Structures are given as C-alpha cells and as structure tokens.
C-alpha cells in the first residue's frame, strides 16, 4: 500500500494519522522515539505492509509483470493500489469526498510534522503541492510518479517500464484490488490491523 490507502485505513482504525504517514521515514523501534499513539500508528503501517505483501491476490498480481520488471513490481503495486482507491473512492467512502479527505489529512499531519525528519517534511510538502492523494486517480499521474521515482534512484530505473505492465494488465489488477481491499476495510474498522 502506498500513502492514500495507509491513511484511509488508519482513519478507519482510529490510528495515528501522522504515525501511519511517517512510518517509512522512521528507523528502529518507534516506541523509543515517539508517543505510544504515534508509535502504534507506525507499527500499524509496518504490519499492513507485511500483510499486503503476503496476500495471495497481491502475489498473483506481481506475476502479471514481465520477468524483467518483477523485481520492482511490489513498489509499483503499492502505487497502483492507491490509484484504484482514488479512482473508486466513492465505492469505499461515502461520508467525505477525496478532496475533503485530503484537506482533513493535511490539517492533521501538519500539526505534528515537526516531530519527524526533514525528509518526511519534504515528502509531505511535495505530496500536498502536487495533490497526490487526489491525482492518484489519474493514470497519467501514475506514470509520472513511476518516472519520477526511476529518475531519483538509479537502482529503481525499471519502475519506468512497469507502467506498461500496469496499463496492459489494468483490469486484472483492478480486480485484484477489488478482491482484497474490502477485507482490509473490515479489519481496519474492527481494529484488527
């Protein structure tokens, strides 16, 4: 899962939004660095990442990628799950539009952003300026995100090529998301993540 799904599920689980948002920027034991609530959010994010990677539907989705791009397929899958969530937002969330959710999350994150590294602050600044949470619904935006990541990290240059895997297998990947995401919503609502 990428940021949008993490934030959505955290909000359903009444978990720390900032903890879930910043988890990828925190190394080591978060309980030694942050309040219990924030550390619990970081740990929820980590558990969710592990859970997603081991779901049969996600393992099957990885096989839709060409052999030469399968190494970076999990990164692309994280991003495209956010695409399908953004695109189908009204199917999963009826109480608030994606634009409103974006603004609510920004307000929450900005209150405690100084507790985290400058890398996290810069990431969130780009996210807000580019309206990523909303723009994930756009297929071309996904291509730009993958290209941007490929340009920033030479080891991830193959991310650029995964866009073709994504578009060629679009409907199968969307079906995978539709299969597993409702179960995550139930688990988050029941505080089982």
Query: pLDDT tens digits for 51-86?
Result: 999 999 999 999 999 999 999 999 999 999 999 999
CA atoms within 13 A on the CB side of 104: 12
Q: pTM of this prediction?
A: 0.95
Among 141, 161, 156, CA closest to 65: 161
Q: Give the pLDDT of residue 2.
A: 87
Which segments of the chain have a pLDDT < 50? none
How deeply is 27 buried, as exposed, middle or buried, from its count of CB atoms within 10 A (0-12, 13-18, 19+)? exposed
Q: Which pLDDT score is estimated for 123? A: 94
């Amino acid at each position: 899962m990428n940021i949008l799904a993490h934030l959505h599920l955290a909000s359903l689980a009444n978990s720390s939004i900032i903890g879930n948002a910043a988890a990828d920027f925190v190394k080591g034991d978060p309980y030694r660095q942050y309040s219990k609530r924030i550390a619990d959010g970081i740990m929820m994010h980590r558990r969710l990442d592990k859970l997603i990677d081991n779901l049969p539907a996600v393992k099957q989705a990885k096989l839709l990628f060409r052999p030469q791009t399968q190494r970076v397929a999990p990164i692309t899958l994280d991003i495209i799950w956010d695409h399908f969530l953004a695109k189908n937002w009204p199917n999963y969330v009826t109480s608030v539009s994606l634009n409103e959710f974006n603004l609510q999350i920004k307000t929450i994150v900005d209150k405690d952003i100084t507790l985290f590294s400058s890398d996290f602050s810069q990431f969130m600044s780009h996210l807000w300026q580019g309206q990523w949470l909303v723009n994930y619904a756009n297929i071309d935006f996904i291509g730009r995100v993958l290209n941007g990541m490929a340009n920033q990290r030479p080891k991830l240059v193959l991310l650029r090529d995964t866009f073709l895997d994504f578009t060629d297998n679009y409907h199968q990947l969307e079906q995978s998301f539709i299969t597993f995401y409702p179960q995550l919503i139930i688990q988050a609502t029941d505080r089982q993540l």
